[in-house]
Amino acid sequence: MDFMVFQYPMITIQACLDGVLLGVLFALIAYGMALQWGVMNIINIAQGDLVILGGYIAYFMYLYGIHPAWGVIASPIIMYFVGVGIYKLVINKVVDRDLFISILATFGISILFMQLMNFAFGADVVLANSGYGTTFLFDSNVVLPNSKIFSAFVSIVFAICLVIYMKKSKLGRAIRATAQNARAAKILGVDTEKVYAATFGINAALCGVAGALISITFTIHPYMGLPYTIRSFMIVIVAGLGNLPGVAMSGMGLGVFEEFADYLLGTEFRIGAVFLLLVLILVYRRFKLSRKREYLK
Amino acid sequence: MNKNYILYALILIFGLAAPFIFPAFKVQLSILCVLIILAITWNIQGGEMGYNSFGNILFYGLGMYLCASVQVGMFFPLAEWTESGGEKTFVHTPSQFFQGMAVGLVVAAVIPTIVAGLIGYAILGLRGHYFAICTLGLGVAAGEISGGIEIIGAGQGFTTPPFPNVGGLEARGEFFYLLSFTALVLTFIAVRAVYSTRFKLILNAIRDNEDKAEAMGIQTMKYKIIGWMISAFFCGLAGGIMGGLVGYIDSTDVAFDGREMGVFMVLMAILGGKGTLWGPVIGATVFHIFKEGFWTFFLGWQYVALGVLIVVIVIYFPEGIMGWLREKYPERFGEVVDEADRKAQVELK
């Protein structure tokens, strides 16, 4: 246990800022998850692996001499088609079925992706160096890499664009209608199959953006996917489906929590702390929900 | 009924004779026994109770660590043992080894049961996918946390006591096979006994509609916890045996291996047929034969094959082998079939 984080205000500020900037990325991934959870009622365990795959796209652009920031544009486009492909191959067969079937099927996809990425890109921890320098605040007591600020900014821009798109465009309206009532939407002429495919594609594209940003700011590794899935799941449960400010807030909260857990418990317990927090949140939620009982329908 | 007992006796004899018929496969057969135990215990949750758990790996890993720790800790300082890694500064005498193993297995079975009882009230109140994800989180968290604890080896792993030099070269394999086979027989008998009581009906009622079961006056929470505790008991036992068999415990790759063992147990139970007594046994056997037979051909691609296998089984074969047989030969399962009705249904399709 290292309580230095509370004794020196600069470290506290550093942890909070890092956490918030990281949390914005989590919120972006969680937004994708909330979208496809709300529309298709599927929990995608492979969410984190899509993020990592998006990260590798940016990393490869970096390897071939293109600035990795362009990955923010390229990765979602490629990931959109990957997402649609996954939908056509697997997800459309589990949409209407038992939730556990979809969890297990996406778990299978997750293992598949993990291993394919391991073969294709190797098991090394990699990072795409953006060369953006760092910003020093408070007499250089607080150090912020510019890439983190860039990634937070880009994810906010993407989130706002997506919100506007969902509100204004025809497809966005169709997606919202399907989320409310798939059957009624079908009757009124919405091609729900197409809507589902587009939703999953948009989700994958969001994961691609987040992954590209993660590969610029942090590091990526083929087996790092599952924690991102769990984080986004956690954020969605805390915020609730379709509550965007809530997703943003709880994403940042989770980021700050992680930074503090990192300081207090040590880096080796960081992922463990995330998973334990998930268990605690679910248990808390269960006790809270069990107070107001539903009666039999 | 008599026919059943003859079948059981034949299987028992075959099981006892197996290591002498296939001497080269003793370790594989022991692993098969452990896998069957895991599939049977998972089936208590996923099949009979309808609570699809990814977290039974928690009890398995806990049992593994506990058995090895007790076996070492009874005679030597545990911290120095793990610090020395694989180097044999301390050597168990045969009697120490077997005493330690016996006590260790008891501890490995009992402590996870208590843990299951303690966390059961909180965890089993969750429904559906929340339960699945929560247990997934539990398993991974346990792996990550145990990977940071120094006294049980942290990141560098824990070497379990080597088998003492008694009874010749073949003794180790035979000992572990008999141990795991005994555990398997015990598990099967216990689960079969449990399934023949009202308890199974209650579990099925919980699976089919928990609210209604509660409305009928069944204390569902009590039975869910008991079901989980039974599961944890045998899971821990299997973990303890597997720890000795593998000889080396790593937090995320051997003990709390959610990516391999944690998925295997779900997959085996589904492949064989959820909610049947024999389904997990058949599923585990088929799965293990497939895995060992074909894994070598994939050579490094086995996880890719595993991922594809999960998706294919889950999407196209969710009823499993027993479910398929039941569809095909309903008479064998004691179901009365009305031929006219059946034909009418076929025509309707």
**For B13-62, how does the pLDDT look when each residue is reduced to its tens digit (9 = 90+)?**
887 777 777 777 788 888 888 899 999 998 888 888 888 888 888 899 88
pLDDT for the residue numbered B86: 57
Contact present, B337 and B293 (Cβ < 8 Å): no
- Chain B residues with CB inside 8 Å of A237's CB? 130
DSSP state, residue A144: E
Note the pTM of the prediction, 2 decimals: 0.85
The distance of A68 to chain B (nearest Cα, Å) reads 29
Q: Report the DSSP beta bridge partners of residue B267.
A: none
Span B138-183, pLDDT tens digits: 888 888 888 777 777 766 777 777 777 776 677 778 888 888 888 9
pLDDT for the residue numbered B2: 65
pLDDT for the residue numbered B113: 92
Q: Report the DSSP beta bridge partners of residue A144.
A: A135
- Chain A residues with CB inside 8 Å of B137's CB? 230, 275-276, 278-279, 282
- Number of domains forming the structure of chain A: 1
Mean pLDDT of the B205-231 span: 88
Structural Rg of chain A based on CA atoms: 19
Is residue A2's pLDDT more than 70?
A: no
What percent of chain B is predicted at pLDDT more than 70?
90
Is residue A295's pLDDT more than 70?
A: no
Nearest CB partner across the interface for A111, out of B140, B211, B259:
B259
pLDDT for the residue numbered B346: 64
Contact A283 B134 (CB under 8 A): yes
CA distance B321 to B275: 12
Question: Is residue A42 assigned to a domain?
Answer: yes
pLDDT for the residue numbered B348: 60
Question: Is residue A80 assigned to a domain?
Answer: yes
Contact present, A86 and A109 (Cβ < 8 Å): yes
Q: Which ipTM did the prediction report?
A: 0.82
Residue B167 has phi, psi (to 5 degrees) of: 70, 20
Question: Is residue A60 assigned to a domain?
Answer: yes
The distance of A231 to chain B (nearest Cα, Å) reads 10
Distances (CA, A) of A118 to A49, A223, B116, B296: 11, 8, 35, 19
pLDDT for the residue numbered B349: 54
- Chain A residues with CB inside 8 Å of B126's CB? 282-283, 286
pLDDT for the residue numbered B342: 65
Mean pLDDT of the A63-69 span: 79
Sign of CA dihedral B276, B280, B285, B289: positive
Distances (CA, A) of A256 to A9, A147, A282: 15, 18, 19
Mean pLDDT of the A185-209 span: 89
CATH of the domain at A98: 1.10.3470
SS (H, E, C) B237-294: HHHHHHHHHHCEECHHHHHCCCCCHHHHHHHHHHHHCCCCCCHHHHHHHHHHHHHHHH
Sign of CA dihedral B285, B287, B290, B292: negative
Identify the weakest region by mean pLDDT among A26-40, A136-150, B179-193: A136-150
* Chain A residues bordering chain B (beta-carbon distance below 8 Å): 43, 90, 93-94, 97, 99-101, 103-105, 107-116, 118-119, 226, 230, 233, 237, 266, 268-269, 271-272, 275-276, 278-279, 282-283, 285-287, 290, 294, 296
Mean pLDDT of chain A: 83
Instruction: Locate A137 and state its tokens.
Output: 């605040």
Question: Is residue A222 assigned to a domain?
Answer: yes
Q: Strands (DSSP E) along A114-204, which ranges?
A: 134-137, 142-145
Contact B129 A100 (CB under 8 A): yes
Span B59-103, pLDDT tens digits: 998 888 888 888 888 777 777 777 666 556 677 777 888 888 888
pLDDT for the residue numbered A294: 59
pLDDT for the residue numbered A297: 44
Q: How far is CA B136 from the centre of its chain?
A: 16
- Show the CA angle centred on residue A26, arms to residues A72 and B303, nearest 5°: 80
Question: Is residue A296 assigned to a domain?
Answer: no
pLDDT for the residue numbered B114: 92
Say yes or no: B208 contacts chain A, CB-CB below 8 A. no
Question: Is residue A158 assigned to a domain?
Answer: yes
Pairing type for strands B248-249 and A134-137 reads unpaired
Span A245-281, pLDDT tens digits: 888 888 888 888 888 888 887 777 888 888 888 888 8
CA distance B126 to B134: 8
Mean pLDDT of the A73-84 span: 89
Q: Report the DSSP beta bridge partners of residue B159.
A: B248
Question: Is residue A56 assigned to a domain?
Answer: yes
CA distance B150 to B64: 16
Helix/strand/coil for B158: strand
Identify the weakest region by mean pLDDT among A193-202, B227-236, B313-322: B313-322
Question: Is residue A128 assigned to a domain?
Answer: yes
Domain extent for A59: 4-291
The distance of B329 to chain A (nearest Cα, Å) reads 25
